[in-house]
Structure 1
Amino acid sequence: MSNRATDGLSHRERKKAQLISGIKQAVADLVLVAGQTTRTKNSDYLSRRLDYDYTYLANLFSENTGSTIEQYIIEFKINRVKELLLAGELNLTQISYQLNYSSVAHLSNQFKKVTGLTPSLFKLLDGRLTIEPESVNDVNVFCNRVNALEVRRVSFAT
């Protein structure tokens, strides 16, 4: 390949990387200011914000990240729910409203699908249960924290 061809390829790859970064930033902005904006379809928002057809954005994102944009949005929102739950300033109804969920039940169901825990159990497990690795009643609990998977052995008092 000539230098001109490889320069073009690297420019194209840089452009794609910038666009994927732009998608991630747009999702962050969408989620973090969700309560302050009117409800809009994610696809419409991203298309307008990035000035690209949503199908192109979705295909590019999936090819390069191995995840769909919708999966990324859900995971980002659930991580935000975790942060808000642990901060303790808002109840689940307020969090649901702030993040534009259609209902508390929808938020709870999505939270459980992603984390394996209900929102209340997630909040309860954050340091309030005793950690006793040798207990007969131990249960492995997987808490998908904001940036890392954490495994805790917790003991439930009987």
Structure 2
Amino acid sequence: MHLFIKNMVCNRCILVVQQELDKLEIPYSRIQLGDVEMETAPSEAKLDALGRQLHALGFEVLDDKKDALIEKIKTTIIRLIHGNDNEMLNTKLSVVLQEALDVDYHYLSTLFSSTEGLTIEKYVILQRIERVKELLHYDEMNLSEIADSMGYSSVQHLSQQFKKITGLTPSGYRQLKHNDRKPLDKV
């Protein structure tokens, strides 16, 4: 049995969900972003208690299959962009999502756009820009290294996209030294 959880977008989120499952003595075999694989189906009372606890912590247990699929799309993209597998950034997004979710990309794209009000591609751009902001904030890489690590074809392409979204150039953003980054679940 799988339990899909909205807003579970980082390793700390996984830890919080794991703690709540342990408190309620709900056995699980695996937890990853947005998804808990249960060993056995817990009682309705335990599921309700878990839902209330997670809701109080800013998460939401998804009952609807379409909502769960949207969450899977988001967590796959977040893992892709904020993870360490830079090779995956050079793979066509449609291929990555279709293989990861075992669902036709056209269906995923249509569902995502109609539900979220933006395309998957726009969501990816927003996530990439948030990751670039993070890398600029840490000031450990130059723009060429950031562009390369994020799968941009050039620094110019990165700069144009960054300015279009933020209104600033990456260099200008770095010089401001302010932190207007968004939490991943708010992108």
Query: Scaled by the length of structure 1, what TM-score is found?
Result: 0.71
CA distance in 2, matches of 1:63, 1:73: 16
Cα distance, 1:36 vs. partner?
4.3
Aligned pair partner of 1:83 in 113, 134, 141: 134
- The aligned length equals 121
Question: Which runs of no fewer than 5 residues in structure 1 stay unpaired?
Answer: 1-11, 128-142, 149-158
Moved over 6 A (4+): none
2:70 paired with 1:20: yes
CA distance in 2, matches of 1:34, 1:110: 22
Kept after mapping to 1: 8 A contact 2:90/2:151: yes
Kept after mapping to 1: 8 A contact 2:135/2:146: yes
2:70 paired with 1:39: no
Identity %: 45
Kept after mapping to 2: 8 A contact 1:31/1:99: yes
Q: Which residue of 2 aligns with 1:98?
A: 149
Label 1:38 to 1:58 Cα distance change in 2 as closer, same or farther (>3 A): closer
Alignment of 1:119-158 (within 5 A): 119-127=170-178, 145-147=180-182
CA distance in 1, matches of 2:181, 2:112: 21
Label 1:34 to 1:103 Cα distance change in 2 as closer, same or farther (>3 A): farther
Kept after mapping to 2: 8 A contact 1:81/1:95: yes
Cα distance, 1:37 vs. partner?
3.5
CA distance in 2, matches of 1:107, 1:23: 23
CA distance in 2, matches of 1:38, 1:119: 20
Kept after mapping to 1: 8 A contact 2:89/2:150: no
CA distance in 2, matches of 1:44, 1:31: 15
Kept after mapping to 2: 8 A contact 1:34/1:98: no
CA distance in 2, matches of 1:87, 1:121: 15
Which structure has the bigger radius of gyration? 1
SS in 2 for 1:123: helix
Q: Which residue of 1 aligns with 2:14?
A: none
Does 1 or 2 have the higher relative contact order (CA < 8 Å, sep 6+)? 2
Q: How far does the alpha carbon of each residue in 1:52-94 deviate from its partner, in whole angstroms, 9 at most, with x for none?
A: 1111001111111101000000000000000000001111111
Question: Which runs of no fewer than 5 residues in structure 2 stay unpaired?
Answer: 1-61
**What is the RMSD of the two structures over their aligned residues, measured on CA atoms?**
1.9
CA distance in 2, matches of 1:85, 1:38: 19
Kept after mapping to 2: 8 A contact 1:31/1:77: yes
